[in-house]
Amino acid sequence: MNKKKGFTHRKNATESPLEANISVMSPTSAEVKALVKRETEVIAEEQAVLNREEQAGLREDIANLREDVVDLREEAADEREKTMRDHKKKIRAKVMFSEHKEVIDEYDHEHLNEKTSVFSILTAREREVIKLIAEGSSTAQIASSMTISTKTVDTHRQHIMDKLNIRGIADLTRYAIRKGITRL
């Protein structure tokens, strides 16, 4: 057809004016490819932004976890230090108690005054046992003379030594002589 004012040019005679407008408005395959490519690029950019945001969130989580670890380590160090201080205090208290007890025991052993006599500390049977020990009798001899078992004699001897804070038979003999329980 010829171009006249107000008419569109048709490529073929069978094409209607509406079809001709559609074909003009329809994108070509190159345009479709360009649109798909651009859409793919936009999706990739969006994904990259999301990844960066997720990584930033993960970095923040990691930073928070590191801070928590540092805090926990500090708390553990403080707890260890407190435990060590408490342990040292207990050890010092035990040492001080032990030293004080030794001093007191030594004082008691050396300075039993006249108000505290052997007769007020020891029972009658214990006084009899200490007298026989100081005189040199054996455990079997003491048991026989007192009609008790050797085990009972040993128990009496241990009680005497505990009460008087004496550590050996020689000290027990010296004590008995010094206090006038027996004579040499």
- Model confidence band, residue 142 (pLDDT cutoffs 50, 70, 90): very high
* Cα–Cα dist 144/158, whole Å: 18
Six-digit token string for 19: 């079809």
Residue 139 confidence (pLDDT)? 93
pLDDT confidence of 81, banded at 50, 70, 90?
Answer: confident
> What confidence category does residue 4 fall into, taking pLDDT thresholds of 50, 70 and 90?
very low
Q: What pLDDT, on a 0 to 100 scale, did the predictor assign at position 154?
A: 94
Determine the pLDDT at residue 7.
Answer: 47
Question: Quick one: average pLDDT of 44-49?
Answer: 84
**Residue 34 and residue 133: Cα distance in Å, rounded?**
120
pLDDT computed for residue 71 by the predictor: 86
Judge contact between 126 and 175, C-beta under 8 A: no
Instruction: Give the burial class of 129: count Cβ atoms within 10 A of its Cβ; 0-12 exposed, 13-18 middle, 19 or more buried.
Output: buried
DSSP letter string, the chain: ----TT-PPPSSTT--HHHHHHHHHSPPHHHHHHHHHHHHHHHHHHHHHHHHHHHHHHHHHHHHHHHHHHHHHHHHHHHHHHHHHHHHHHHHHHHHHHHHHHHHHHHHHH---TTS-HHHHS-HHHHHHHHHHHTT--HHHHHHHHT--HHHHHHHHHHHHHHHT--SHHHHHHHHHHTTS---
Q: Does the pLDDT at position 84 exceed 80? A: yes
Write down the pLDDT at residue 156: 93
On average, the pLDDT of the chain sits at 78
The more confidently predicted of residues 117 and 114 is 117
Domain 117-178: which CATH class? Answer: mainly alpha
pLDDT cut 70: percent of the chain above it = 73
Question: How far is Cα 19 from Cα 35, in angstroms, rounded to an integer?
Answer: 23
Q: Please enumerate, as own/partner, the contacts of 109-114 that have beta carbons within 8 Å and a separation of 24 or more.
A: 109/164, 109/165, 109/166, 112/164
How far does the chain reach from its first CA to its final CA, in angstroms?
162
Of 8-17, 42-51, 169-178, where does mean pLDDT reach its minimum? 8-17
